[in-house]
Structure 1
Amino acid sequence: MAEAMLTFCESSNGDTWSLGKRDGCGALQVLHCANASSGGAKNWLGLVEFLATNPGSPEHSALLERIGAIVSDRIADKPGGPAELLMHFRDATEAEAMTALSGSKVRLPLGSTSDALEFFNCMVDLLTGLQQVEDEADARRIPAGFGSTH
């Protein structure tokens, strides 16, 4: 069984590709569902492996476009819009990059596409103020063991 899936590509012959997490696996994976006439087989592929396979294929391009749209939607809601944020990326300080790295689960050098995406998402969070909002919310939470049942 899988958690909620995001279908990002459907071919003209009925094959579909979806992004999500398989139960018991914390990493994002791609689920390819073949069409019924070819047997309807379902195959899971790690996100990094999927991105490394068949670059330029329609399903590969569709995933990258969907990721780009999600990031654009996140930054479009912020004051100054995407252009201002992209300029801020260029002007980001080493301290900001180190803060984003400390908030991510990757280290330099970024060895894979998924590492680069994780770092990029943390930079977006930092530069849009989302990381600060989340940090402030965490600071207001009652720590486990202090009168809580968790």
Structure 2
Amino acid sequence: MTERLIHKSSNGDVWALARDPDSKLPAVKHRPNASSGGRTSYTDIGKFLREGAGGPEHQALLKLIGTLLDDAGRSS
């Protein structure tokens, strides 16, 4: 899998978990809608979460990350 959808807004912006093509590290890929220019950008995951954790795309990323945790591995 090369990327995983995080969130698609009602205006057509799309965020996905992907690899930055330059660094090859996991990053958030943002593809704005065509009326915003449509220029794709990549942001480090930590920076993305620090810059606006209240947005629906940020909450969706946190939820996605949470699905990677195995409930059986949690300490009680």
Shift of 1:23: 2.7
TM-score (norm 2): 0.84
Higher share in strand: 2
Structure 1 runs of 4+ with >3 Å offset? none
Of residues 42, 45, 50 in structure 2, which corresponds to 1:44? 42
CA distance in 2 between counterparts of 1:41 and 1:47 reads 19
Q: Relative to structure 1, is the Cα distance of residues 43 and 9 closer, same or farther in structure 2, using a 3 angstrom cutoff? A: same
- Provide the secondary structure at the position in 2 that maps to 1:17: strand
Query: Larger RCO: Structure 1 or Structure 2 (Cα < 8 Å, ≥ 6 residues apart)?
Result: 2
SS of structure 2 residue aligned to 1:14 = coil
Name stretches of at least 5 consecutive residues in structure 1 with no aligned partner.
Answer: 76-81, 91-150
Counterpart in the other structure of 1:21: 19
RMSD: 1.8
Q: How many residues align?
A: 76
What is the one-letter code of the residue matched to 1:37? S
- What secondary structure, in the 3-state scheme, does the structure 2 residue paired with 1:63 have? helix
TM-score by length of 1: 0.46
Structure with more helix by fraction: 1
How far the C-alpha of 1:16 sits from its partner, in A, is 0.3
Q: Distance in 2 between matches of 1:24 and 1:63?
A: 22
Identity %: 34
Deviation at 1:21, TM superposition (A): 0.9
